[in-house]
Chains A and B, each alone.
Chain A
Amino acid sequence: MAKPREQAIRIREGSPWTGLWAVVGKEMADHLTSARMHILELIILLTAAGTVFAASENLRTTVGQDRFLFLRLFTTGRDPLPALVGFLGFLIPLIAIALAFDSVNGEFNRRTMSRLLAQPIYRDALLFGKFLAGLFTLSLVLSVIWLLIIGMGILRLGLPPSTEEVLRSLVYLVVAIFYGGVWLALAMVFSIVFRQPATAALASIAVWLFFIAFWGFIASSLALVISPVRYGFLEEFARLAQTELYLARIAPNTLYGEATIGILQPETRSLGVVLPTQLQGAILGSPLPLSQSLALIWPQLTGLIAATLLLFALGYVLFQRQEVRA
C-alpha cells in the first residue's frame, strides 16, 4: 500500500537557482525593448533633465559658497517644479509597478507558465529571476539618471563633484533603488494574486495613492487614538508626535523621503516627518560627516530593504502554492 509520504523532510535536488540567469536575461531583454518601458524611461529622463536644469539655473549664483553644490542639484526645486528627488519619489513607484504588474499573471495569460515550469527549473528561480530583472532594470534607469545629473552638473556649474558628494549621491542611488524594490515586490505580489494584469496594476496604484495621499492624515488620526493628549502636558504632545512619526514610517515614501534628506542634505541632524516635496526647508546647521549621515538614515534604508524582502517572501509563498493551471 501507499507508503507514508516522504515529504516531511523535503530535501530538494539541485540548486533552487538553476536557470535563474536565463530568466533574468530573458526578462531584462523584455523590459529594455518594451514600448511601455521606453515611454517611462523617456518621461523620467526628461523630468530629470528638466529639474536639474532648473536647479542649476538657481545654483549658478551660489557657486563657491556651498560645499555641497552638487547635492543641491538633487534637492533644489524651482517654483512651481519640485526638486528632482521629489519627482523621483513619484516616478520610481510608477516605473517599478510598470515593471512587475504583469510579471506572473502575464505568463498564465500567455499560456507559457506550464511550458516554462515543465523545464528543469524551480519556481524559485522563475520568481526571483523576474524580480532581479526588474530591480536591475530599475537600477540601470536610475544609474543613467545619476550619470546625467553629474554630467549636467559639471557642464552647468563648471566644477567637478567632491568625493563626498559622489559617495552621498551613490548612497541616495541605493536608497532610490530599494524604494523601487518595495513597489516592485508589491506589484509582483499583486501579479500573483490577480489573474488580470489591469487589476494588479490598479491595486498597486491604489496602494501607492493610499500612502501618498491618505496615510499622513490617517497616521495623525490614529496617533491621536493611540497616544491621546488628555491633560495637555508637554510629554503627551511629544509622545503623540513620536507615535505619529512611527506610524508615518510605515509608508515607503516616508522612509524614502527621510533617507533622502538625511544623506543629500548633510546638515540634517535628525529626521522628522517630512514629505519629499518639502525637502528644501530642512534643519540647517553645520554638516555631519558622511558616516554619521549614514548612521542617521540606516534605519530607513534597512527598513526599505526589509520591506522589499518581506513582500518578496510573501509573493514567494503565494506563488509556490499556486496551481499551474488556473
Chain B
Amino acid sequence: MGKQSEFVIETRQLTKKYGDFVAVDKLNLRVRRGEVFGVLGPNGAGKTTTILMLLGLTDPTEGDVRVLGLDPTRRPLSVKSRVGYLPDQVGFYDELTARENLIYTAKLNGLPRQEAYRRIDEALEQVGLAHVADQRVGTFSRGMRQRLGVAEILIKQPQLVIMDEPTQGLDPEASREFLDFIRQLKQQKITILLSSHLLYQVQAVCDRVGLFYRGRMALEGTVQDLAKKVLGSGYRVFVEARGDRDAIQKALMALEGASEVRSVGNNRYEIAATQDLRPEAAKAVIQAGGKLFSLAVEEPNLEEIYARYFKEVEHGEAA
C-alpha cells in the first residue's frame, strides 16, 4: 500500500450490492497515470456507483479499490484530499458568493488562509468567473455553476480528477470550453476519469474508454481497439475513381486491412478497413489503370461502436 504504481485507479473484483440488486459486478478497472479515461454505459449501468466507491463515499460490498495507491475505505481523508470530484449534480450555497463557497471548501481542506485566497483567485481566473467572484451563486447559470465546480477542484490541486457527466446540460460552446479545460488538466499530468453519455465528446478527449453494462466492464480500450472488436473494421475509406469498375474493385479488395469493398454507384467505392488506407487505395486505383478523383476517410466512431454493441447485446439476449 502507498507505493507509487503505474495505475492511479485500480479495482479488483469490485462489487456493490443494494439488497439483491447488483449495481457493480466484479469490476476490474485500471486507469494509468496521466491518462484520460472515459466511462460510458446506459443509465443504471453502475457508473456513478463505481465513482462513489472510488471516493470512499459509499462502501463496496466486496472487492478491493486502490486510488493513488490508497484504500479509500481505510484512508478516506488522504484519498479525498488528493482527488477532485465533480458530482453529476453539482450544487452550491445559493446565498453565498462564489468566493465564499470556495473559501468553505478551502477550509474543509485545511488550507492556510493566504494560500487558500491565492488559489481561489487563480482558480476563479482560470475558469473565467473572476468578474462574478463576489456575486451570489443563486444568480449563476448552470454553466457558471459547473465552472465553479471546476474551480473548486482546482483549489485542491488534485492528482486525480473524477467527473460525473460534466457536460450534461451545457450549451455547445460551454461544452467545448469544458473539453478544452480537460485537455489543459491533461497537460498538467493530472489523471482524469469522466463519465458521460455524449460519445462524441468522450471520443474527443479520452485516451481510453470503458463501456459499462449492468455493473460490468463490457469493453475497454482505445476507440480504435473497440472499433476492431465491435465493428471488425473501424475506418471507412471513400474512393471516387473512373475506369474499369471490376479491376478497381478487385485491386482495392486486395489491399491489406480492407475487409469489404462496395461499389456505391457512379464511380464511387466504399472500403471498410482496420486502418486509414488512403495512400494504399490511391496507389491501387492507379495501378489498376483508373483515374483517381477524390479520397476521403471516416475514422471509427464511438457512436457507431456503442449502437452496434448494444444492438448485438440485445440480439444476443433475445436469442
Write the residues of chain A forming the contact surface with B, with a CB cutoff of 8 angstroms.
Answer: 1-3, 5-7, 10-14, 18-19, 22-23, 25-26, 30, 110-112, 114-122, 323-325
Write 10 A-B pairs (CB below 8 A) sorted by A numbering. Answer: A7-B59, A13-B74, A13-B75, A110-B92, A111-B89, A111-B91, A115-B87, A118-B57, A118-B87, A324-B57
Q: Are B94 and A110 in contact, CB atoms less than 8 angstroms apart?
A: yes
Complex Cα–Cα for A1 and B26 (A): 10
Residue of A nearest to B104 (CB): A26
Provide the residues of chain A in CB contact with B78, threshold 8 Å. Answer: 13, 120
Residue contact B93 to A2, C-beta cutoff 8 Å: no
Q: In the bound complex, how far is the Cα of B178 from the Cα of A128, in angstroms?
A: 37
Segment at the interface with A among B106-114, B204-212, B243-251, B255-263: B106-114
A118 with B55, Cβ < 8 A, contacts A1-B13, A13-B76, A26-B104 known? yes
Q: Which of B48, B52, B108, B152 contacts A121 (CB 8 A)?
A: B108
Question: Which residues on the B side are within 8 Å of A115 (C-beta)?
Answer: 85, 87, 90-92, 105, 149, 152
Most chain A beta-carbon contacts within 10 A, residue among B12, B83, B107 = B107
The residues of B that contact A3 with a CB separation of less than 8 Å are 64
Q: Does B198 contact A (CB under 8 A)?
A: no
With both chains docked as a complex, state the minimum distance between the C-beta of B151 and any C-beta of chain A, in angstroms: 12
User: Do residues B74 and A324 form an inter-chain contact, with CB atoms below 8 A?
Assistant: no
- Contact partner, A120, options B58, B64, B108, B149, Cβ 8 Å: B108
Residue B286 interfacial (CB < 8 Å): no
Contact of B80 among A7, A25, A26, A120 (CB under 8 A): A120
Chain B stretch 97-127: residues in CB contact (< 8 A) with chain A = 104-105, 107-110
Residue of B nearest to A26 (CB): B104
Q: Contact at B80–A119, with CB atoms within 8 Å? A: yes
Nearest-Cβ distance from residue A201 to partner chain B, whole angstroms: 19
Q: Taking the nearest CB of chain B, how far is it from the CB of A6, in angstroms?
A: 7
Given contacts A3-B64, A110-B94, contact A324 B52 (CB under 8 A): yes
Is residue B81 within 8 Å, beta carbon to beta carbon, of the partner chain?
A: yes
A114 and B57 contact, CB distance less than 8 A: yes
Residues of A within 8 A of B218 (CB): none
The answer to whether A110 touches B80 (Cβ under 8 A) is no
Q: Which of A1, A114, A122 contacts B76 (CB 8 A)?
A: A122
Closest partner residue, chain A, to B91 (CB atom) = A111
The answer to whether B107 and A112 have CB atoms under 8 Å apart is: no
Q: Are B81 and A114 in contact (CB under 8 A)?
A: no
B116 to chain A minimum Cβ distance, whole angstroms, is 11
- By beta carbon, the residue of chain B nearest A34 is B95
Complex: how many Å from CA A100 to CA B162?
Answer: 32
Tell me, rounded to whole Å, the shortest Cβ–Cβ distance linking A111 to chain B. 3
Closest CB of chain A to B169's CB: distance in Å?
13
Q: B residues touching A (Cβ–Cβ < 8 Å)?
A: 12-13, 48, 52, 55, 57-59, 62-64, 73-78, 80-81, 83, 85, 87, 89-95, 104-105, 107-110, 149, 152
Q: How far is the CA of A114 from the CA of B57 in the complex (A)?
A: 8
Complex Cα spacing A1 to B63, Å: 8
Residue of A5, A12, A118, A120 with highest tally of chain B CB at under 10 A: A118
A120/B90 in contact, CB under 8 A: no
What is the CA–CA distance of A5 and B16 in the complex, to the nearest angstrom? 13
Task: Using A112-B92, A119-B109 as known contacts, list a sample of 12 further A-B pairs with CB atoms less than 8 Å apart, ordered by residue number in A.
Answer: A3-B64, A12-B76, A114-B57, A114-B87, A115-B85, A115-B152, A118-B55, A118-B80, A120-B81, A122-B77, A324-B52, A324-B58
Contacts of A111 in B (CB 8 A): 87, 89-91
Closest 7 pairs (CB-CB, A-B): A111-B91, A22-B107, A120-B81, A118-B85, A119-B108, A114-B87, A120-B80
Could you say which residues of chain B place their CB within 8 Å of the CB of A19?
A: 107-108, 110
Task: Give bound CA distance, A212 to B200, whole Å.
Answer: 62
Q: Known: A115-B149, A118-B85. Is A13-B77 also a contact (CB below 8 A)?
A: yes
Nearest CB of chain A from residue B296's CB, rounded to whole Å:
45
- Report B-chain residues with C-beta under 8 Å of the C-beta of A25: 107
CB distance from A13 to the nearest CB of B (A): 5
A2 cross-chain contacts in B, Cβ below 8 A: 12-13, 62-64
C-alpha gap A117/B80 in the complex (Å)? 9
**How far is B145's CA from A112's CA once the two chains are assembled, in angstroms?**
12
Complex CA–CA separation, A323 to B105 (angstroms): 21
Q: How far is the CB of A209 from chain B (nearest CB, A)?
A: 31
Closest CB-CB distance, A62 to chain B, in whole Å? 49
Residue of B nearest to A15 (CB): B77
For residue A324, which residues in chain B have a CB less than 8 angstroms away from its CB? 52, 57-58
Are B77's CB and A14's CB within 8 A? Answer: yes
Please give, as numbers and ranges, the residues of chain A lying within 8 Å of B104 by CB-CB distance: 22, 26
The answer for the CA separation of A11 and B75 in the assembled complex, in Å, is 9
Complex alpha-carbon distance, A117 and B85, angstroms: 10
Contacts of A1 in B (CB 8 A): 13
Q: Is the CB of B74 within 8 A of A10?
A: yes
- What residues of chain B lie closer than 8 Å to A5, measured between beta carbons? 62
* Assembled-state Cα–Cα distance A122/B108 (Å): 10
Distance of A120 Cα from B109 Cα, bound (Å):
6
With beta carbons under 8 angstroms apart, the residue of A11, A12, A120, A122 that contacts B110 is A120
Determine the chain A residues whose CB is within 8 A of the CB of B149 once the complex forms.
115
Chain A residues whose CB sits within 8 angstroms of the CB of B62 once the complex forms: 2, 5
